[in-house]
Amino acid sequence: MQKIFLVGLGGFLGSVFRYLLSGFVQKASNIVSFPVGTLSVNLIGCLVIGLLAGLSESRQLFGENARLFIFIGLLGGFTTFSTFGYEVFSFMRDGEFVSSFLNIFLHLFFSIILVWLGFSLAKLI
């Protein structure tokens, strides 16, 4: 139960932070035709998960509960794109280039197709 609470609390905080930061960046950019706020959050999330994963792996910096709170909860709530970026990086680092590019292709291709499908289904309801 404690693990679920840690993930939930981290997710709550990450989502709130994403909402605030994305909105702030979007307003500050004065660009209404492109989601600069979302792009910023995704890029920041990738930088942070890379930094923390590197520290964690090289220095065993985080215990299991801290990893659950930070990586799955906080960063997962902030952006799942950071997890995607880390997984692609891990495949590349480990020399699994086919898996890396397959992961990129499948995520991008099917996410766009499924958004289109969901949008199309909404018209039928």
Q: Would you say residue 91 lies in a domain?
A: no
User: Which range of residues forms the domain containing residue 58?
Assistant: 2-79
pLDDT tens sequence across 30-89:
988 888 999 999 999 989 998 998 888 888 889 999 999 999 999 999 998 888 898 899
Q: Would you say residue 73 lies in a domain?
A: yes
Q: Would you say residue 125 lies in a domain?
A: no
Contacts of 98 (CB under 8 A, 6+ apart): none
Top-confidence residue, 87 or 4: 4
Task: Count Cβ atoms within 10 A of the Cβ of residue 104 and give its class: 0-12 exposed, 13-18 middle, 19 or more buried.
Answer: middle
Provide the number of structural domains found in the chain.
1
pTM: 0.78
In residues, how long is the chain?
125
